Chain A
Amino acid sequence: MAVRLKKGHREALSGIVFTLPFTIGFILLFLRPFVQAIVFSFSRLNIGAGGYTLEFVGLGNYKNALFVQPEFVRTWVETTGMMIVNVPLILAFSFFSAILLNQPFKGRTVARVIYFLPVILASGIVLQLEQDNYFIESLQDLEETVSGFMSLETLGVFLMKLKLPARMLEFIMAAVQQAPVIIRNSGVQILVFLAGLQSIPPSLYEAAQVEGGTSWENFWNITFPMLSPLILTNIVYTIVDSLANPQNELVKLIRSSAFGPPGYGVSTAMAVLYFLGTFAVLLITIGIVSRWVFYHE
């Protein structure tokens, strides 16, 4: 008994020692600034020669962010709305891309390399330069002339002729407009689904074949449920990824407010609101999705 206890203690000690780097980093480089950020959001910050002083202003910064800053609420709603639209699109795209890239065909390696390329190309400074850029405008001219068959106007006219309901038309147009964004943000998710597809035991499909299942039935009864836990993983990854995206408008606004006129306090208040909103979306999504996730074993 005494030996066991000792072993338990030693195990606990080893665990604490191995995770110590993170514990230190978390407390000093994460938790401390995190708490400070919350304090800052209720304060006015005065930076002097020998440091900074704080002056408590209550909810002033939040009121300023929500009611005085003209851009904030609009950008916040837009960014969150965009995220809510993009997440299911990215998920659907990466899901079917993974199924496609898992099939044997000539040139599969090349196709995989291309699908994953955007993860490598997502350079912060390059994306930042590509925002308001004169050159990009002329690029888009080029894009339109080259891709006559994919031009939005043509598609719009075509869809009008089909007499689709206006709302559906709007959604399709928005989805097409978003297509490049969706494609470029799906790399890691495709990898996760691909790995998931390869971990499905072939015996399941063999059994289904014996029972006479069609590939349509196999998809809905084997592939989809077996991949469902990864759907949750990918939803979380996609939401987290959108937070760090340099093309995120709200992030840019928070940044420019910090070093611009409204100042540190208001900027931090905006960041706290953004964090709380995203966290809420994350929790709600996890709550809804985990209900129908199927866990093997």
Chain B
Amino acid sequence: MSDNLNTRSIGARFQQTPAKAALERLQKLFTPRNLGGLLVSLGRLGVLIGVSYAILFPLLAKIATSFMAEIDIFDKTVHWIPKHFTLDNYRNAIKYMKYPSAFVNSLALTLGLSLLQLASCTVVGYGFARFDWRGREVLFAAVLFTLVVPPQMIMIPLYLNYRYFDFFGLAKEMQLNLLGTYWPLVLMASTATGVKNGLFVYIMRQYFRGMSRDLEEAAYIDGAGVFRTFFSVMLPSAVPAMVVVFLFAFVWQWNDYFFVNIFAGNRHLLPNALAQLTGEYSRDLTVAGTEHVMRAYGSLLNNAGSLLLIAPLVTLYIVLQRYFIESVERTGLVG
């Protein structure tokens, strides 16, 4: 080993022949350190390919299948590329889901609910972050508690409360049926108890806690009240965290089927339309096919419908991916 080092350093002192130089360059390239780096890169590439495969495969397979005609599913020789390319699956899914109107309704509802959630969670998060009072810790424990109770547990009482709505026991004789209206969802969103809202309260609290108190102190000295300070000083500085909360609220609300199905199952919304898609289609069938064939075509329809449901979100995600991926850093949730 030391011999080798010696000859090399001596060799460097004398004039080098081209062959020697090439050999030396090779030696430099294949030092243990470089080899290790190469192995790490290869290993990383392997892991990345494997994981991307696991994530993308189902999606790509769905997309490929969505262009297949029914015979192609039964044809064992068809992989990925349809033999009978067709847009019929999409055409039928759009027709029987009444996609355009369902999309507009879903978009309006999701936007409205996620804005309400953003407003309520921001205000509540600020309250937890900046003010101290007896019972604050208990109330914050309540926020975390809402996260660990499975929604199925309170599903039935909630359902009955809205079925025979009596203003929470205040007006016993009035029994409105709020099921099938958006009221239950609106009430939940505006009181920070909607889908994963505890998490958003937590995010906003952490963000406000991390902000410097100087701005607020200055505003108070200038005579601004608590609310004025909050709206004109704190809110503009909290925009990064609010963007994150809004995006997650939007995605999770769009994907929610649990609450939408219980409280507004009869409304013309995308998830409901998708759930009823095959039923709507088969009702319209003039020639009754065998059940087996219907099941196969139904799954093709559901497949196209599913893609239509997630397409807006995937588009949103690709356009705004930076906000999603940097989300946790932006909110200062961690450090």
Contact = CB atoms under 8 A, between A and B. Distances in A.
Contact residue range for chain A? Answer: 35 or more
Contact of A124 (B54, B142, B256): B256
Contact of A18 (B54, B126, B258): B126
Contacts of B192: 21-22, 25
A109 B256 CA distance: 28
Contact of B302 (A117, A129, A254): A129
A290 interface: no
A12 B193 contact: no
B55 A117 contact: yes
Interface in A114-167: 114-126, 128-130, 133-136, 138-139, 142-143, 145-147
Interface residues of B, number: 93
A258 B48 CA distance: 43
A59 interface: no
Contacts, number: 273
A142 B324 CA distance: 32
B124 A19 contact: yes
Contacts of A117: 55-56, 59, 317
Nearest to B184: A29
B131 A142 contact: no
A125 B314 contact: no
Interface in B46-101: 47-48, 51-59, 61-62, 65, 73, 79
Contact of B175 (A29, A50, A126, A145): A50
Contact of B328 (A26, A33, A135, A191): A191
Most buried by B among A30, A111, A130: A30
Interface in B297-322: 298-300, 302-303, 306, 309-310, 313-314, 317-318, 321
B164 A142 contact: no
Given A28-B168, A135-B65, A275-B150, A18 B325 contact: no
B222 interface: no
Majority-rule SS of A interface residues:
helix
A254 B61 CA distance: 32
Given A125-B274, A134-B295, A196-B334, A97 B51 contact: yes
Contacts of B53: 147
Given A21-B192, A25-B188, A129 B168 contact: no
In order of increasing CB-CB distance, the 8 nearest A-B pairs are A25-B191, A18-B127, A15-B131, A135-B299, A124-B257, A199-B335, A12-B133, A33-B157
Interface of A: 10-19, 21-26, 28-34, 36-37, 40, 47, 50-52, 97, 100, 103, 105, 109, 111-126, 128-130, 133-136, 138-139, 142-143, 145-147, 179-180, 183-184, 191-192, 194-196, 198-199, 230, 239-240, 243-244, 246, 251, 254-255, 258, 264, 267-268, 271-272, 274-275, 278-279, 282
Interface of B: 41, 44, 47-48, 51-59, 61-62, 65, 73, 79, 120, 123-124, 126-128, 130-134, 136, 139, 142-143, 146-158, 160-161, 164, 168, 175, 187-188, 190-193, 196, 201, 226, 230, 251, 254-258, 271, 274-275, 295-296, 298-300, 302-303, 306, 309-310, 313-314, 317-318, 321, 324-325, 327-329, 333-335
